[in-house]
A and B are shown apart, each in its own frame.
Chain A
Amino acid sequence: MNELFYDAAPNATRVAPERPGPRQYPAKPREVILFGTCVVDLFFPEAGLDAIRLLEREGIRVHFPEGQSCCGQPAWTSGYAAEAREVARAQLAVLESGMPVVVPSGSCAGMFRQHYRELFAEEPETLKRVESLAERTFEFTEFLLKVCCVDWQDLGQPTRIALHTSCSARREMNTHLHARELLGKLARVERVDHDHESECCGFGGTFSVRMPEVSGAMVQDKTRSLMASGADEMVTADGGCLMNINGSLDKQQQAFRGRHLASFLWERVSGEGKA
Chain B
Amino acid sequence: MSQRIPVTELTGGFRDRAEVALADGQLRTNFRTAMDSLMKKRADAFPDEEEREGLRELGNRIKARALSRLPDLLEQLEAKLTDNGVKVHWAETTEQANEIVHGIIGARQGSQVVKGKSMVSEEMEMNDYLAERGVECLESDMGEYIVQLDGEKPSHIIMPAIHKNRYQVARLFHDKLGVDETDDVNELIQIGRRTLRRKFMEADVGVSGVNFAIAETGTLLLVENEGNGRMSTNAPPVHIAVTGIEKVVENLRDVVPLLSLLTRSALGQPITTYVNMISGPRKADELDGPEEVHLVLLDNGRSGAFADAQMRQTLNCIRCGACMNHCPVYTRVGGHTYGEVYPGPIGKIVTPHMVGLHQVPDHPSASSLCGACGEVCPVKIPIPELLQRLRQENVKSPAEGPKVKDGGAKYSRKERLIWRFWQTLNSSPVLYRLFLWGATRFRKLTPKHVGPWTENHTAPVPAKRSLHDLAREHLARNGGQ
Interface residues of A (CB under 8 A from B): 1-2, 4-8, 10-16, 19, 34, 36, 38, 40-46, 48-49, 52, 56, 61-70, 72, 74-81, 83-84, 86-87, 89-90, 94, 118, 167-168, 171-172, 198-200, 202-221, 243-244, 247-248, 250-251
On chain A, the residues within 8 Å of B425 by CB distance are 69
Q: Which residue of B lies closest to A206 (CB)?
A: B365
Contact of A42 with B463 in the complex, beta carbons under 8 Å: yes
Q: Which residue of B lies closest to A167 (CB)?
A: B370
Contact of A251 with B457 in the complex, beta carbons under 8 Å: yes
Contact of A214 with B332 in the complex, beta carbons under 8 Å: yes
User: How far is A214 from B365 in the complex, measured between Cα atoms in Å?
Assistant: 11
Q: Which residue of B lies closest to A221 (CB)?
A: B332
User: How far is A189 from B469 in the complex, measured between Cα atoms in Å?
Assistant: 32
CB distance from B425 to the nearest CB of A (A): 8
Contact of B70 with A5 in the complex, beta carbons under 8 Å: yes
B67 interface hit (Cβ, 8 Å): yes
Contact of B422 with A45 in the complex, beta carbons under 8 Å: no
B274 interface hit (Cβ, 8 Å): no
User: How far is A216 from B19 in the complex, measured between Cα atoms in Å?
Assistant: 11
On chain B, the residues within 8 Å of A217 by CB distance are 22, 332
User: How far is A172 from B388 in the complex, measured between Cα atoms in Å?
Assistant: 16
Contact of A12 with B460 in the complex, beta carbons under 8 Å: no
User: How far is A6 from B71 in the complex, measured between Cα atoms in Å?
Assistant: 7
On chain B, the residues within 8 Å of A248 by CB distance are 456-457
On chain A, the residues within 8 Å of B309 by CB distance are 8, 12-14
Q: Which residue of B lies closest to A169 (CB)?
A: B371
User: How far is A212 from B61 in the complex, measured between Cα atoms in Å?
Assistant: 38
Interface residues of B (CB under 8 A from A): 14-15, 18-19, 22, 53, 57, 60-61, 64-65, 67-71, 74-75, 90, 92, 297, 299, 303, 306-310, 312-313, 328-329, 332-333, 362, 364-372, 374-375, 380, 382, 384-385, 388, 390-395, 410, 416, 419-420, 422-423, 425-429, 432-433, 436, 439-440, 451-463, 465-472, 474-475, 478-481
Given contacts A49-B470, A77-B388, are A62 and B456 in contact (CB under 8 A)? no
On chain B, the residues within 8 Å of A62 by CB distance are 475, 480
Contact of B64 with A15 in the complex, beta carbons under 8 Å: yes
Contact of B456 with A79 in the complex, beta carbons under 8 Å: no
Contact of A45 with B465 in the complex, beta carbons under 8 Å: yes
User: How far is A101 from B78 in the complex, measured between Cα atoms in Å?
Assistant: 56
User: How far is A15 from B470 in the complex, measured between Cα atoms in Å?
Assistant: 46
Contact of B15 with A49 in the complex, beta carbons under 8 Å: no
Given contacts A42-B462, A247-B457, are A200 and B475 in contact (CB under 8 A)? no
On chain A, the residues within 8 Å of B394 by CB distance are 79
CB distance from A252 to the nearest CB of B (A): 9
CB distance from B321 to the nearest CB of A (A): 18
CB distance from B292 to the nearest CB of A (A): 21
Given contacts A167-B372, A212-B455, are A13 and B68 in contact (CB under 8 A)? yes
User: How far is A76 from B422 in the complex, measured between Cα atoms in Å?
Assistant: 12
On chain A, the residues within 8 Å of B65 by CB distance are 13
User: How far is A40 from B462 in the complex, measured between Cα atoms in Å?
Assistant: 10
Given contacts A8-B308, A200-B372, A203-B368, are A63 and B467 in contact (CB under 8 A)? no
On chain A, the residues within 8 Å of B371 by CB distance are 167-168, 171-172
Given contacts A4-B299, A62-B475, are A80 and B419 in contact (CB under 8 A)? yes
Q: Which of A66, A83, A210 contacts B468 (CB 8 A)?
A: A66
Contact of B475 with A83 in the complex, beta carbons under 8 Å: no
Contact of B432 with A80 in the complex, beta carbons under 8 Å: no
CB distance from A238 to the nearest CB of B (A): 12
On chain A, the residues within 8 Å of B478 by CB distance are 56
By DSSP majority rule, is chain B's interface helix, strand, loop, or mixed? helix
User: How far is A43 from B71 in the complex, measured between Cα atoms in Å?
Assistant: 55
On chain A, the residues within 8 Å of B454 by CB distance are 251
Given contacts A2-B74, A12-B309, A167-B371, are A70 and B457 in contact (CB under 8 A)? no
Contact of A207 with B439 in the complex, beta carbons under 8 Å: no
On chain A, the residues within 8 Å of B428 by CB distance are 90
CB distance from A84 to the nearest CB of B (A): 8
User: How far is A215 from B22 in the complex, measured between Cα atoms in Å?
Assistant: 11
CB distance from A141 to the nearest CB of B (A): 18
Given contacts A46-B470, A83-B422, are A213 and B18 in contact (CB under 8 A)? yes
Contact of B462 with A215 in the complex, beta carbons under 8 Å: no
Given contacts A48-B470, A79-B364, A216-B456, are A168 and B419 in contact (CB under 8 A)? no
On chain B, the residues within 8 Å of A202 by CB distance are 328, 368
| 3 A-B pairs closest in CB distance | A204-B368, A247-B457, A79-B391
On chain A, the residues within 8 Å of B60 by CB distance are 15-16
Contact of A211 with B426 in the complex, beta carbons under 8 Å: no
Q: Which of B14, B90, B419 contacts A83 (CB 8 A)?
A: B419
Contact of B310 with A14 in the complex, beta carbons under 8 Å: yes
On chain A, the residues within 8 Å of B380 by CB distance are 16
CB distance from B343 to the nearest CB of A (A): 13
CB distance from B205 to the nearest CB of A (A): 23
Q: Which residue of A lies closest to B305 (CB)?
A: A8
Contact of B423 with A13 in the complex, beta carbons under 8 Å: no
On chain A, the residues within 8 Å of B479 by CB distance are 61
Q: Which of A1, A34, A211 contacts B299 (CB 8 A)?
A: A1
Q: Which of B64, B306, B329 contacts A5 (CB 8 A)?
A: B306
Q: Which residue of A lies closest to B368 (CB)?
A: A204
Q: Which residue of B lies closest to A201 (CB)?
A: B368
CB distance from A9 to the nearest CB of B (A): 8
On chain A, the residues within 8 Å of B367 by CB distance are 204, 207
Contact of B433 with A66 in the complex, beta carbons under 8 Å: yes
Contact of A69 with B432 in the complex, beta carbons under 8 Å: yes
On chain B, the residues within 8 Å of A171 by CB distance are 370-372, 374-375
Contact of B456 with A64 in the complex, beta carbons under 8 Å: no
Given contacts A45-B467, A199-B328, A218-B332, are A63 and B480 in contact (CB under 8 A)? yes
On chain A, the residues within 8 Å of B57 by CB distance are 16, 19
Contact of B467 with A41 in the complex, beta carbons under 8 Å: yes
Contact of B474 with A41 in the complex, beta carbons under 8 Å: no
Given contacts A2-B75, A207-B367, are A52 and B471 in contact (CB under 8 A)? yes
User: How far is A75 from B427 in the complex, measured between Cα atoms in Å?
Assistant: 13
Contact of A43 with B460 in the complex, beta carbons under 8 Å: yes
On chain B, the residues within 8 Å of A205 by CB distance are 368-369
Q: Which of A75, A80, A81, A219 contacts B456 (CB 8 A)?
A: A219
Q: Which residue of B lies closest to A36 (CB)?
A: B467
Contact of B467 with A48 in the complex, beta carbons under 8 Å: yes
Given contacts A70-B426, A204-B368, are A13 and B64 in contact (CB under 8 A)? yes
User: How far is A89 from B425 in the complex, measured between Cα atoms in Å?
Assistant: 13
